[in-house]
Structure 1
Amino acid sequence: MSAVPAWGLVVETTVGTGERKHTEAQVVGHLTGSRQEALAELERRARSYSPTHPLSPRRRRLLRVGDGFLLVVDGAWQSFVTRFTVAELLEDSAAPRIPEPEPEPEPEPEGDAAPEPVAGAAPPAPAEARESGLDADGVPVRPAWLGRRDLP
């Protein structure tokens, strides 16, 4: 069975003006599912996107291209371009680690269960303590967090 593909939603936009005008790219989101679903989400974002330049937009055109959309906004003196691209995510060095599933705990026998300690009662005898998982003072020998895979 193949894994469901993950898609990166990339926005490349023109920043700066004059000789300092250049393009910067950002991954603005991730989506799992089909390419069509990713394109639909990308189109929704492209239609509502408001670029910082130009300050006084005169004309706005949104065009569909092979892997996304192209937004061209004409200002008083210059045009500014924003490209919206959907791209399949192949690798992410900063992706969160997905914890491995925990093994099913073994059911405890009903008749041999250790009795709950009673407040003010004497601690269990050493032999009983080892069998119940508690030391002579009634403190668990093995901490509950030891061996958990979901903790850092």
Structure 2
Amino acid sequence: MPTWGLVVEMTVGMGERKHAEAYVLAHVEGTRDEALAELEDRVRRHAPEHPRNPKRRRMFRTGDGFLLVVDGAWQSFSTRFTVAELLADSAAPAPEPVAEPAPVPASEPVDAVPPPATPQPETDPVARYDDGVPVKPSWLGRADLS
């Protein structure tokens, strides 16, 4: 199955230092339609930093994703969300080697069923998205931050 990148592009900075930056939100394995459905869900939940007091929010579907335009008191801010097939990744983890099954000794029956594995306790109780990013940031709700 192909892997799809969910990419967001937004304008950051102010004045002459304003520029566009792109970020990969997540990776989705499956069909393009499944990736678009996940991307649409993220667009609908997206709360951009600017404008601080939005007056109007418009979401457009494009051929490869979505365009979110949020109007503020003085100017509009746009964010483009794109789904794109991942073709290469220089930092991808190495594929795990496929282990050969151990030969069955002649004394054991071939159809013997191994005992069920005991469930291991979960070491990380934090809910995470498929790409490993926590659903709730660790700093959210902390009283010691102002």
Answer yes or no: same fold by TM over 0.5. yes
Aligned length: 108
Residue of structure 2 in register with 1:40 after alignment? 37
Once the two structures are TM-superposed, the CA of residue 22 in structure 1 deviates from its matched residue by 1.8
Residue in 2 that maps onto 1:107? 104
Q: Which amino acid aligns with 2:57?
A: R
The alignment's TM-score, normalised by the length of structure 1, stands at 0.66
Structure label with greater radius of gyration = 1
Question: Can you give the 5+ residue segments of structure 1 that lack an aligned partner in the other structure?
Answer: 111-152
Amino acid at match of 1:103: E
After TM superposition, give the deviation of residue 56 of structure 1 in Å: 1.9
Taking the aligned partners of 1:21 and 1:57, their CA distance within structure 2 comes to: 20
Identity score, percent? 63
Contact 1:15 1:53 in 2 (8 A): no
Q: 1:73-84 counterparts in 2 under 5 A?
A: 73-84=70-81
- Indicate the residue corresponding to 1:29 in structure 2: 26
TM-score norm. by structure 2 comes to 0.69
Specify the alignment match of 1:7 in structure 2: 4
**Alpha-carbon deviation of 1:109?**
5.2
Q: Which structure has the highest helix share of the two?
A: 1
Q: Show structure 1 runs of 4+ deviating over 6 A.
A: none
SS at match of 1:23: strand
Coordinate RMSD, CA, aligned: 1.6
**Residue matched to 1:18:** 15
